[in-house]
Structure 1
Amino acid sequence: MSLAALPSSFSRVAVLLSAVFLAVNAQQTYPATPLASKHFAYPTGIPYQADTDPTLIRGVQSGYNLCNSTTEGDKSLCQTSFLNSLDDFCLWAPPKANSLIADTEGEEVAWCTKPGRGTRLIPPGALQGVQFMKTPDYVQVVGFIDQTFINMVADDSGGELDLRGNPLGGLVYSTAWGGSNDSYTQVIEWHNFMGGNQFCFKACDPAGANAANFCQHVYDRIGCMYNAPNAAQNGTFESCLGENQDFPGVYTENGAVVTYKQPAESLGVISSMPYQPRVPASSSCTPFTSASVFAALGTPTTTAGSVTGSGSNKPSSGASSTKGSGSAATSPSATSTGGAEALGVGIVSSVVGVVFAAVFLS
């Protein structure tokens, strides 16, 4: 039946819906060159913004990549991040106070442990335990943080940040494979999970044959334990060498290699998992005190439930150091045990009000 044969009112509605569909479809297109295919040398080749295409499906880049001393501070919108060592790394977190990762993942900014690159600085006292590990194919940093210091809601269970527009324009660099502290490699494959007062950030060697496999982006709902299995412990600061993990989502059962398929979010909470990930062996671990590792951030001084520090930017919200009830950082698995379980099991606890960090929203 043609539109001409339909009632005139129906025809007008159909034409209108068709026009709306075409308009939306025209706006929601992917750029001809994805961000992962853009390469910029650091520091000389960094553009003001890495994503400038007006047809980006998720909007336009909210911050900038060309960062220096004039942009550094608690108002910085720098979206150029680094993962180099125990004392030199950044995390992606919201630019505005009291934010949820799920609401702001496209606009997160870099919060770093060292000044000098034009970013925000992680406030002193926020980091409460960190393990840095270098393996043959990637470097990663995992740990415990009072996330209210970096503009996250206290009980936010968090989300995954990765190269696919989270945040838009986000660039990551590392000196792990350059041979010197001044030789930066642009990291194409990476993922950073934030939430439950815990984090994990992995950057995969671009020259490695399996960079995309080690830094998978499809397991956003099962968190650090399954994407970056580790032996980090709250209160411990250490730098280690280690062996590669199994690819996220891949495990061996009864001698057969199995690939886990994450269920759709529409099916509800992931209440159980068919496997426990293998925690890679570590070696040559060097312990540090938090004061010596993050000296550039200043020394925290606790006053009336807040933390300040010299030589560092305070959170733009003046965030409290008090943990929110129901966060993974206050649950037994996050405070009394070490290892992978301390960074979230990837499911929602059956105990009402306790949400583990690994229930990450895309």
Structure 2
Amino acid sequence: MFAVKSLCAVAVLASSVAAQAKFQYGTPNPNMAGVVGRNSNGPTNPKTPQENTPINQTSMARLVSVNSVDDWCIYGPPENGQTIANVEGEVVAYCTKPRNNARVIPDGTVTAAHFVKTPLYVQLMALGDFTKIGFAPGDQGGELDPHGATNMGNPVGGNVTSNVSGKDVFYEEWMNFVSVDQACIRICIAGTDVAPTPLECQHTLDEMGCNWVMPGNYADNSFDTCDGDAAYPPGLFPQPDGSTSTFQQYFSSVYTAPGGDVQTFINASPDQQTPSAAYSLPSTSQCTTASSIANGIKSLVSGSSSSAMML
């Protein structure tokens, strides 16, 4: 399970998990509202995605790109040993290549990576030892998204891009789950009336973890790129009678606004059953494998005294 700042218990408004099923999501539209990003780009970020930027393991840049099995970024702690749930608004970008003025993920950190492109989103699933980029040992992690408690994003000023359309595009809806040994990120690149981007990149299921929210291949010691079917939006469970049951994660939390106003948030019910997995595992095809991913950077330590270096 992934830790969050609020006091949480998990509940559900859904039934048991079904077998493999293909999601009939309609015709993808990369130009519909909610696809292209409108959030402001943080002041520590480059204005556009850039490759071959200086390696700076103290960078505060928060621009993440997900382009391929060996060219992607995730969010991680700005200082060594921090627990993600405590710094969701301050996390920074870590990338597999020197790009975006971000920190770099050293060789030997990632033990598996699986990249999938679907008509509605791109998704990257990775395993590794993320203590090598500052994660606290044993950290069960957290969920980052463009919203957050103040709707300014977790992290504030964070943005994501992908070039799978043939050009770099800032996207509006995305979600990134990270922990000490697992990471996954989904960027919604198109939407439909049946599956708009806020639904396919649902951001309110932060306790459920990668395998539940972003079903896919999480095998260790392997690297591949695949085309795939889009998954059912997280938390949707079609029923035998044709209806759809919707999962809601139960939580009760208190948020104190900067002005001192106290707000209590409660949803769902604490006495309902949680399904063990997503509704179905989407199929993949046209997979190609690689032996590993590497950048030639072996021993940089996040938070070190040296501020920058070049390849």
Superposition pairs of residues 129-278 of structure 1, within 5 angstroms: 129-164=112-147, 165-177=153-165, 179=166, 183-206=167-190, 209=193, 210-255=196-241, 256-265=243-252, 273-274=274-275, 276-277=277-278, 278=280
User: CA-to-partner distance for each residue in 1:326-350, whole Å, 9 max, x for gaps?
Assistant: xxxxxxxxxxxxxxxxxxxxxxxxx
Q: Does 1:115 align with 2:98?
A: yes
Q: Which letter maps to 2:288?
A: T
Distance 1:161 1:121 in 2: 19
Match of 1:286 in 2: 288
Q: Give 1:270 deviation, angstroms.
A: 9.8
- Structure 2 portions without partners, runs of 5+: 1-35, 148-152, 254-265, 306-311
Match of 1:94 in 2: 77
Q: Is the 8 A contact 2:119 2:190 kept in 1?
A: no
Distance 1:265 1:283 in 2: 41
Q: Is the 8 A contact 1:36 1:163 kept in 2?
A: no
Distance 2:186 2:303 in 1: 27
Structure 1's 198 and 269: CA in aligned 2 closer, same or farther, altered over 3 A?
farther
Distance 1:297 1:201 in 2: 24
Structure 1's 200 and 133: CA in aligned 2 closer, same or farther, altered over 3 A?
same
Q: Which letter maps to 2:74?
A: L
Q: Is the 8 A contact 1:161 1:193 kept in 2?
A: yes
Distance 1:129 1:108 in 2: 22
Q: Which moved more, 1:65-74 or 1:264-273?
A: 264-273
Distance 2:175 2:296 in 1: 24
Q: Does 1:314 align with 2:297?
A: no
RCO comparison, higher one (Cα < 8 Å, 6+): 2
Identity %: 32
User: CA-to-partner distance for each residue in 1:254-295, whole Å, 9 max, x for gaps?
Assistant: 3432111111156999996235311111111111111xx32x
User: CA-to-partner distance for each residue in 1:108-161, whole Å, 9 max, x for gaps?
Assistant: 111001114311100110001111000011000002021101111010111000
Structure 1's 208 and 86: CA in aligned 2 closer, same or farther, altered over 3 A?
farther
TM-score normalised by length of structure 2: 0.72
Q: Is the 8 A contact 2:53 2:99 kept in 1?
A: no
Of 59, 65, 69, the match for 1:76: 59
TM-score normalised by length of structure 1: 0.62
- Structure 1 portions without partners, runs of 5+: 1-34, 40-49, 52-62, 301-307, 319-362
Distance 1:264 1:287 in 2: 40
**Which of 1 and 2 has greater Rg?**
1
Distance 1:196 1:73 in 2: 21
Distance 1:100 1:269 in 2: 26
Q: Give 1:253 deviation, angstroms.
A: 3.3
Match of 2:7 in 1: none
Q: Is the 8 A contact 1:77 1:109 kept in 2?
A: yes
Secondary structure class of the residue paired with 1:107: coil
Structure with the higher fraction of residues in helix conformation: 1
Match of 2:44 in 1: 64
Distance 1:270 1:297 in 2: 51
Secondary structure class of the residue paired with 1:219: coil
Structure 1's 157 and 316: CA in aligned 2 closer, same or farther, altered over 3 A?
same
Structure 1's 152 and 244: CA in aligned 2 closer, same or farther, altered over 3 A?
same
Q: Is the 8 A contact 1:122 1:297 kept in 2?
A: no
Q: Give 1:208 deviation, angstroms.
A: 5.1
Distance 2:190 2:227 in 1: 19
Q: Give 1:232 deviation, angstroms.
A: 2.1
Structure with the higher fraction of residues in strand conformation: 2
> Aligned pairs, how many?
244
Q: Give 1:70 deviation, angstroms.
A: 7.0
Moved >4 Å (runs of 4+): 67-71, 206-209, 265-272
Distance 2:270 2:131 in 1: 25
Structure 1's 272 and 151: CA in aligned 2 closer, same or farther, altered over 3 A?
farther
Distance 1:297 1:198 in 2: 22
